[in-house]
Chains A and B, each alone.
Chain A
Amino acid sequence: MTPTGQTEAPAIKRYPFTRTSPLAPAPEFDELRTNDPVTQVELWNGNRAWLATRYEDIRALLHNPNLSSDTMREGFPQANATAASFRGGQRVFARMDPPQHDEHRLMLTADFMVRHVRELRPYLDELIDNFLDDMQASEGPVDLVKVLAQPVPANIITRLLDLPPEDSEFFLERVNTWMSLEVEPAVSAQAGADSLAYFDRLITSRLESTADDLVSRLIRERLLTGQLSRAELQHMLGLILVGGFDTTANMIALGTLTFIQHPDQLQVLLDDPSLLPNAVEELLRYLTVAHHVAYRIAAGPIEIAGRSIREGDGVIAPLMAANYDPEVFPSPHTFDIQRDARGHLAFGYGVHQCLGQALARVELQAVFGKLFQRLPNIRLAVPENELRFKDSLIYGVVALPVTW
């Protein structure tokens, strides 16, 4: 109570919140979920946006047709100036609304469907065995990010798009810079432009291809038929690269770290390997690496949790807040590979839910199956407090030195 007898309005919080522990969500989410589940926050540029923190509200918002992903709309909320610069001008279906979004996405769904991507498992098992052979041939310690976490998705994507494997170094570096929130906007924009220029050259080189790879098929069936413009195809390929790379790489590195921190859970998994698919779901929930995903703008009125959101309002529906809602995931801060985590929103929700999720599951199941089976005593080679985490669009660890 202030001397005048009026309660002071709580100061508006600044978003994004800062984590206080590397792998856990910022504490503000838990506090707001209890006290003010749909609230207003202030962004880097002084703009305000709505912030939801309950699972049901976040799901309802991401499913609401009045919530737009189109970053070209005036007032679209962003995490900071760098995010604003690289998300501003994208013309990819991740940033489109239905019906155009659906049209573009459905051009790719068949290639990413469950049955299809599961056929990659033998290839993946062999790939991972090779990486682990190389690792074990050395004395250690090694940086797991460099020898396993990044090479797995990089190889999968080069295979999917049938690119020369030697190009993956280039991608690693470009995508990392492009998606970083820690570099200057111009540096990030240049890395994005470089990646898109690469795809432009790739399209040129396959214009007459009769081969069966995804890029050649998209050129024949979508570009030459006029369904996609050249720029749209270029951005679409860029989206597959960006969508599938950092996400999976960071899940592998942080997932390994999580098991190292929870030896009891690792033992449960080693005792019963059939828990692996469930363990991967729990890792996806617990880590929610897409921690900056789900910025949206209202394209019409939305009623949620007694609040009235108006057209043009920015809306943030953080997947991480949903995945730590104790109503849905009891004791959410506990990493428990035996819980039912399948309803997690680590891949988002609504029409934009991850296109590559079946592929990501296959990759993660293959990696963690092999890794812990072959190196059950894997451990950190540096004190935990020396690890550096990166604040990118996707959350990750810069390096993970391990020994075994």
Chain B
Amino acid sequence: MSVKIEVMRERCMGAGNCAEVSPDYFDQDSIDGTVVLLRSDVEPGDEHEVETAADVCPVAAILVKKTAASV
């Protein structure tokens, strides 16, 4: 299993919930405050935190995708 994050920046309203909940993965752009993905590969153990960040995003701009690890 690997878990990846995708953000749809054009939807982002800069509310900053993601950066609040999961600062290791999300930051905000210093010009317009919209989301900046710091890394897209989720470390084992961080899945819950990242999923919470996606859940509290008010505009559903964050996708957390689980894919079966390729062999």
A contacts, CB < 8 Å to B: 63, 102, 105-106, 108-115, 342-343, 347-351, 353-355, 357-358, 361
Among residues of A, the one whose C-beta sits closest to the C-beta of B28 is A113
Q: Which residues between 17 and 67 of chain B lie within 8 Å of chain A, taking CB atoms? A: 17, 19-21, 23, 27-34, 52, 55-56, 58-60
**Complexed CA–CA distance, A319 and B56 (Å):** 15
A339: shortest Cβ distance to chain B, in Å? 14
Contact B28 A115, beta carbon cutoff 8 Å: yes
**Complexed CA–CA distance, A106 and B10 (Å):** 11
28 of the cross-chain contacts (CB-CB < 8 Å) are A63-B59, A105-B13, A106-B14, A106-B33, A109-B14, A109-B33, A109-B34, A110-B30, A110-B33, A111-B33, A112-B14, A112-B33, A113-B14, A113-B28, A114-B16, A114-B19, A114-B28, A115-B28, A342-B21, A347-B15, A353-B13, A355-B14, A355-B15, A357-B15, A357-B16, A357-B17, A358-B15, A358-B20
**Complexed CA–CA distance, A342 and B55 (Å):** 10
Contact B58 A353, beta carbon cutoff 8 Å: yes
Set of chain A residues within 8 Å of B13, measured between Cβ atoms: 102, 105-106, 109, 351, 353
**Complexed CA–CA distance, A63 and B55 (Å):** 13
Set of chain B residues within 8 Å of A361, measured between Cβ atoms: 20
Set of chain A residues within 8 Å of B59, measured between Cβ atoms: 63, 350-351, 353
Known A-B contacts: A106-B14, A113-B28, A113-B33. Give 8 more (CB < 8 A). A63-B60, A105-B13, A110-B14, A110-B31, A114-B20, A348-B58, A358-B15, A358-B16
Set of chain A residues within 8 Å of B32, measured between Cβ atoms: 106, 109-110
B contacts, CB < 8 Å to A: 13-17, 19-21, 23, 27-34, 52, 55-56, 58-60
Set of chain A residues within 8 Å of B16, measured between Cβ atoms: 112-114, 357-358
B65: shortest Cβ distance to chain A, in Å? 20
**Complexed CA–CA distance, A351 and B23 (Å):** 21
Contact A343 B55, beta carbon cutoff 8 Å: yes
Contact A105 B55, beta carbon cutoff 8 Å: no
Set of chain B residues within 8 Å of A347, measured between Cβ atoms: 15, 58
**Complexed CA–CA distance, A112 and B13 (Å):** 11
**B27 CB contact (under 8 Å) in A108, A115, A343:** A115
**Complexed CA–CA distance, A115 and B36 (Å):** 12
Contact B58 A351, beta carbon cutoff 8 Å: yes
Set of chain B residues within 8 Å of A357, measured between Cβ atoms: 15-17
Set of chain A residues within 8 Å of B31, measured between Cβ atoms: 110
Among residues of B, the one whose C-beta sits closest to the C-beta of A106 is B32
Among residues of A, the one whose C-beta sits closest to the C-beta of B19 is A114
Set of chain B residues within 8 Å of A350, measured between Cβ atoms: 58-59
**Complexed CA–CA distance, A357 and B33 (Å):** 13
Among residues of B, the one whose C-beta sits closest to the C-beta of A277 is B20
Set of chain A residues within 8 Å of B14, measured between Cβ atoms: 105-106, 109-110, 112-113, 355
**Complexed CA–CA distance, A108 and B34 (Å):** 11
A137: shortest Cβ distance to chain B, in Å? 36
Set of chain B residues within 8 Å of A115, measured between Cβ atoms: 19, 27-28
Contact B52 A342, beta carbon cutoff 8 Å: yes
